[in-house]
Structure 1
Amino acid sequence: MPPPSSALPEVISLGCRLNIAESETIRTLLGRRDAVVVNSCAVTNEAVAGTRRAIRRARRERPGAELIVTGCAAQIDPQGFAAMPEVDRVVGNADKLLPEAWAASEPVRVSDWDAVRRDAPHLAPAFAAHVRAFVEVQNGCDHRCTFCAIPFGRGPARSAPAGAVVTRVAEVVAAGHREVVLTGVDLTSYGQDLPGRPSLGKLVERILTHVPALERLRLSSLDSIEIDDRLMALLTGEPRVLPHVHLSLQAGNDLILKRMKRRHLRADAVAMVARLKAARPEIAIGADLIAGFPTEDDAMFADTLALLDDCDIVHAHIFPFSPRAGTPAARMPQVNPAVARERAARLRARAAERHTAWLHRLVGTRQRVLVERPGDRGHAEAFAEVGLDRTMQAGTIADVAIIAVEQDRLVGVAA
């Protein structure tokens, strides 16, 4: 793939789907500026290190472009990134979707979250780089999990008004997107700051009612304890809501969950998945899990390892614990980092086994696949990756017969 033209902006998006969504707005705000923006992640120390590597690589590849760093890592440590010789400007998360922030010239523009109480920003209607449209409906978080630095980077929880969300979804569908992903930092807390406290389930109902042309609606990470009956009914009974639920579980041991300041217990997570699978067996369960949290012993880790089976997890995001400065968990008795890495490797190995076994169970089925660039691959409704036997137009939905599993993805023949 050739390097981007020096006359056009480039946005490098790291981390979560929310960053992907916001990067599209940033791209629009930049116009035709000769700039590279690194939209950073701070979920772990490794994510911050990855941001620094991306900055250095971007400077080597675009030596003459203006290089701007934004995102969570920039919000949390603006001076640290401003001190990098490769960096021209730092723009904080509170400012990065404001046109005036990109028109300004000050080296560091980072607002204090305590002064920021805006509604969650809305996205640009075009998503040139993605076949899916990511629509941000919520930002920030009011919970304080002991390991998490993201509230420092994203600020207080705030939701976009439902009417504006429906309008945005209608726009991206009219622009040709057949799948929409609702994103947020704490998505299931949607609406708690709005008049009448509308729930995420109510928002989804409103989208489906008022945008009948929307074919596929996917939800990003959910907090299992906040899935109410309305949202449960939509996840299990609405065909346009895709059968793919990613849960923020983090651990499988009750004492560790309490020390994380999570709001659910192990049994709550297992029961939630059992309800989902009983009502809609084809639902694929994903989860975030942390290995080596402070005070975790072998028995506690075994509970988390067993959670992969007990919650039928087939899409797992595994992280070794990373102490983030300023968080309570960083002051707790630490597990040896080598032990945390070894435990994370064991979790990943078991998760990979489960994922592969799940793919093999899909051989012989027919799947509806959203074709992705360059046209020889895509993802099915339950987010299984599918390689196609022929190149098709990106953004279309293909009916595909699954014939094999190769290199940890399905192989299909398009009808």
Structure 2
Amino acid sequence: MAAEVISLGCRMNLSESETMRAMLAAEDDLVVINSCAVTAEAVRQTRQAIRRARRARPDARLLVTGCAAEVERSAIAAMPEVDGLIANTAKLDPRAWNVPAMRAPGTATHTRAFVTVQNGCDHACTFCVIPQGRGASRSLPIAAVIEEIARHLSAGAKEVVLSGVDLTSWGADLPGAPRLGQLVAAILSACPDLRRLRLSSVDGIEIDPLLFELIASESRIMPHLHLSLQHGDDLILKRMKRRHLRRDAVDLVSALKARRPGIAIGADLIAGFPTEDEAAHAANLSIVAELAIVHGHVFPYSRRPGTPADRMPQNDPAVIKARAAELRAAVAAQRATWLAAQLGQPLDVLAERDGTGHAPNFARVALPPLTTAGTIVTHIPTTVAEGLLA
């Protein structure tokens, strides 16, 4: 039986798992868990996935890589189901798997191709263990990025998503310290057949002037921006050791919407961070409406041993859970209003294999039966059901 790669966590892992599947295609009886450690719950899910994979493939060799394999190395290695660990920084290196270099990397297997242009992080947010799991920031040079995108386009991908752990820090370690806007401009120039370019989560305070201009004016960049926002209260942002304040996010979104009114805003938000009181929680809730966040990823704060936030006064778990539910409800209300406004509007939807697709603003759309995957079709939605336009 061929190698199986099970991916947990972020888009970065999804992208890296695709490369590993191609790299390990000829390996028999191998299961790889590409793990996540962003929260305690993510580690629990990693352990659960390991046990489930072992039950399903009792005779396979089971290897674990990803952030949990770094941050929780001893505990994961001690699990009886695990045969070995692969360092997170080495998981895309064929030598780490003892396979020929010619097998890696492969081509796109989805209509949307995730291209990892940056890895690691040089920042020190007080709640985060990702730098421990992925190391220092590292950037893929422009020529290598364009070469990989060209492979995906030749394999049929219609949309490319640039991804990274700290995407907007791309280039800081390269000669001349280019900014992300320079990379995006180079991609658009070198790849005229690329119809849709999307950015994964970005740190708004790091958006350089050229990148802002391209997001605001370039039609091939999708009108969808997902911010690594984390909170709406200034004191909490300082205690998180973020590099922006609430006003920075508000000003950025306001300036973008003035230039590109249809842009959809997404954001990561943490509920119940240590020392968060009712007033701070109210500020967190209110920024959902102020930015009109319609793609929200809400995370209840999760203690991570060894982080500065773990030593701060903690909120009661029941309070954290309740505040997360309120944040999700606020995002759901914004999203419902936004989706209703899409009805009757023609949307250019990239069809996926599951019968749905994404509009440029990242609204998910249910498409008519027999719509060919990988095509971009114009669809006019008439209803909203369970968060899907149809």
Aligned to 2:388: 409
Give distance in 1, aligned partners of 2:163 and 2:85: 24
The Cα of 1:27 is off from its aligned counterpart by 1.1
Of 322, 331, 355 in structure 2, the residue corresponding to residue 351 of structure 1 is 331
Task: Indicate if the aligned counterparts of 2:108 and 2:156 stay in contact, CA closer than 8 A.
Answer: no
2:162 corresponds to: 182
**Structure 2 unaligned runs (5+)?**
none
Corresponding residue of 1:242: 222
Letter in 2 for 1:89: G
Q: Distance in 2 between the 1:8 and 1:280 partners?
A: 47
Q: Does 1:126 align with 2:107?
A: yes
Matched, 1:56 2:70: no
What residue is the counterpart of 2:254 in the other structure? Answer: 274
Counting only pairs closer than 5 Å after superposition, residues 90-101 of structure 1 correspond to structure 2 as 90-101=85-96
For residue 94 of structure 1, give the secondary structure of its aligned residue in structure 2. Answer: helix
- In the TM superposition, structure 1's runs of 4+ consecutive aligned residues that sit over 3 Å from their partners are none
1:127 CA drift (Å): 2.3
Secondary structure class of the residue paired with 2:90: coil
Kept in 2: contact 1:125–1:168 (CA 8 A): no
Q: CA deviation at 1:32?
A: 2.4
Secondary structure class of the residue paired with 1:143: coil
3-state SS of 1:287 partner: strand
Alignment gaps of 5+ in structure 1: 1-6, 105-122
What is the Cα deviation at residue 125 of structure 1? 4.1
**Counterparts of 2:228 and 2:279 in 1: how far apart (Å)?**
21
Which of 20, 24, 45 in structure 1 is aligned with 2:18? 24
How far has the Cα of 1:21 moved from its partner?
A: 0.8
Aligned residue pairs, count: 385
Aligned to 1:140: 120
The answer as to whether partners of 2:23 and 2:105 remain within 8 angstroms in 1 is no
2:321 aligns with 341
Match of 2:268 in 1: 288
Whether the 8 Å CA contact 2:22–2:106 is kept in 1: the answer is no
Residue type at the aligned position of 2:162:
L
User: Which of 61, 69, 72 does residue 66 from structure 1 map onto?
Assistant: 61
After superposition, where does 1:179-328 map in structure 2 within 5 Å?
Answer: 179-328=159-308
Partner secondary structure for residue 220 of structure 2: coil
Distance in 2 between residues matched to 1:15 and 1:27, nearest whole Å:
17
Deviation for aligned residue 1:386: 0.4
Aligned partner of 2:371: which letter? M
The CA deviation string for residues 254-277 of structure 1, in whole angstroms up to 9 with x for no partner, is: 000000000001111111110111
In structure 2, which of residues 307, 311, 328 is the aligned counterpart of residue 331 of structure 1?
311
Structure 2 partner of 1:120: none
Structure 1 range deviating more: 295-304 or 393-402: 393-402
Q: Which amino acid aligns with 1:133?
A: A
CA contact (8 A) 2:39 2:302 kept: yes
Cα contact 1:78–1:92 (8 A) shared by 2 = no
Q: Indicate which of 369, 382, 391 corresponds to 2:370.
A: 391
Taking only aligned residues, the RMSD between alpha carbons, in angstroms, comes to 1.1
CA distance in 1: counterparts of 2:237 and 2:231, whole angstroms: 6
TM-score by length of 1: 0.91
How far, CA to CA, are the matches of 1:391 and 1:68 in structure 2? 38
Task: Tell me the secondary structure at the aligned position of residue 126 of structure 1.
Answer: coil
Identity percentage of aligned residues? 57
Contact preservation (8 Å) 2:12, 2:164: yes
Q: Give me the TM-score of the superposition, normalised by structure 2.
A: 0.97
Conserved in 1, the CA contact under 8 Å of 2:180 and 2:208? no
